[in-house]
Amino acid sequence: MHEEKAARLKAIRAANQAGSAPPTIANASRGGAEPEDVTSAMLPQALLALLIGVALGAWVAAIALPAWLPGLGNSLLGTEPHVYWHLARSSAVVAYLLLWLSMLFGLLMTSRMARLWPGGPQAFDLHQHTSLLGLAFAIFHALILLGDRYVDATLGQLLIPFAYSDYAPLWVGLGQLAIYGLAIVGLSFYVKEYIGRGVWRAVHFLSFAIFLLALIHGVMSGSDSNTMLIRWIYWSSAGSILFLSVYRVIYARFGKVPRSTATI
């Protein structure tokens, strides 16, 4: 351990003498750009176990338990309390909030605001973790609907965008596209060295479209969209992403926030 610290300290000193900083997450994010050399915040094995666990858990809850335990199945599938519908609604809200947090930390990291809080490396880790956890909850949100007899969707209708036609097919399909987009962006962390930084950045710009698709899906097809709490979540999350996006564009254009806007 001491040898590793000594070697790292030597490398930092050598980089300082050469007039450049070593490629760390913190140094890469100081200039408001994406990190050059980063490692995945979650091991691929851990991510695979998480996604398999979520999919298997949703299958067990929606399909296996009612078949294995008829008494429990009758209580879950009766007219009340609509357990699967409540699980789908709650997991959708959690997935949306995690997607929002992922966008938030990503924009903080690329606009120097992460230097104030929570710091470059921490912002990157939170950005990736919230993205992957959002993907997990989004998958659970979709698959748990297999147990809802009112929705009555097949696995194919849940997996294929716009295949479900019984309720708001367009808005539901946009939500399905958002899940696939979230999967592409989340998994891109693990293939950056193979696809190159340019392609990786282009893939990450899809996050804005994904967030918009998820927002439209929630507003137009969510059963809770008319409640004050959910509307407040939608407005505040969309407003914060818009503000940070504009801030990032201004910072990229001028190198700093204009004095007139910095005092707001």
For the segment 154-179, what is each residue's pLDDT rounded down to a tens digit?
999 999 999 998 888 999 999 999 99
Looking up residue 124, the CATH number of its domain turns out to be 1.20.120
What pLDDT, on the 0 to 100 scale, is given for residue 25? 38
Alpha helix segments (H runs only) across the chain: 2-17, 25-30, 44-59, 65-68, 70-77, 83-109, 120-143, 155-159, 169-187, 192-195, 197-221, 228-254, 259-262
What pLDDT, on the 0 to 100 scale, is given for residue 100? 95
Q: How far apart are CA 118 and CA 73, in angstroms?
A: 46
What pLDDT, on the 0 to 100 scale, is given for residue 256? 54
Q: What are the tens digits of pLDDT across the range 228-255?
A: 999 999 999 999 999 988 888 887 677 6
User: 178: exposed, middle or buried (C-beta count within 10 Å: 0-12, 13-18, 19+)?
Assistant: buried
What pLDDT, on the 0 to 100 scale, is given for residue 29? 39
Under a CB-based contact definition with an 8 Å cutoff, are residues 33 and 19 in contact? Answer: no
Provide the CB-side half-sphere exposure for 207 (13 A, CA).
30
What pLDDT, on the 0 to 100 scale, is given for residue 159? 92
The tokens for 73 are 């199945």
Q: How far apart are CA 97 and CA 145, in angstroms?
A: 20
Q: How far apart are CA 82 and CA 149, in angstroms?
A: 9
What pLDDT, on the 0 to 100 scale, is given for residue 211? 96
The DSSP call for residue 60 is: I
pLDDT of 26 higher than 80: no
Token look-up 């716009």 returns 162
Token look-up 């078949």 returns 67
Tell whether 37 is covered by a domain.
no
Token look-up 């809080």 returns 117
- Confidence band for 260, pLDDT divided at 50, 70 and 90: very low
Rg, C-alpha atoms of the chain: 22
Under a CB-based contact definition with an 8 Å cutoff, are residues 58 and 144 in contact? Answer: yes
Secondary structure of 110-130 in HEC code, one letter for each residue:
CCCHHHCCCCHHHHHHHHHHH
Tell whether 245 is covered by a domain.
yes
Q: What is the mean pLDDT of the chain?
A: 77
User: Above pLDDT 70, what percent of the chain?
Assistant: 69
Number of domains in the chain: 1
Tell whether 243 is covered by a domain.
yes
Tell whether 11 is covered by a domain.
no
Tell whether 249 is covered by a domain.
yes
Tell whether 5 is covered by a domain.
no
Tell whether 26 is covered by a domain.
no
What pLDDT, on the 0 to 100 scale, is given for residue 64? 64
Under a CB-based contact definition with an 8 Å cutoff, are residues 91 and 140 in contact? Answer: yes
Which has the higher per-residue pLDDT, 87 or 75?
87
Q: How far apart are CA 134 and CA 185, in angstroms?
A: 11
Q: How far apart are CA 58 and CA 92, in angstroms?
A: 14
Q: What are the tens digits of pLDDT across the range 79-129?
A: 554 778 888 889 999 999 999 999 998 888 776 666 666 666 777 888 888
Tell whether 53 is covered by a domain.
no
Under a CB-based contact definition with an 8 Å cutoff, are residues 198 and 34 in contact? Answer: no
Handedness of CA 219, 220, 222, 223 (dihedral sign): positive
pLDDT of 50 higher than 50: yes
Q: Residue 225: name the closest of 94, 83, 93 by CA.
A: 93
In the predicted model, what is the mean pLDDT of residues 143-149?
83
Domain hosting residue 98, numbered range: 69-262
Q: Report pTM.
A: 0.75
The tokens for 209 are 């479209």
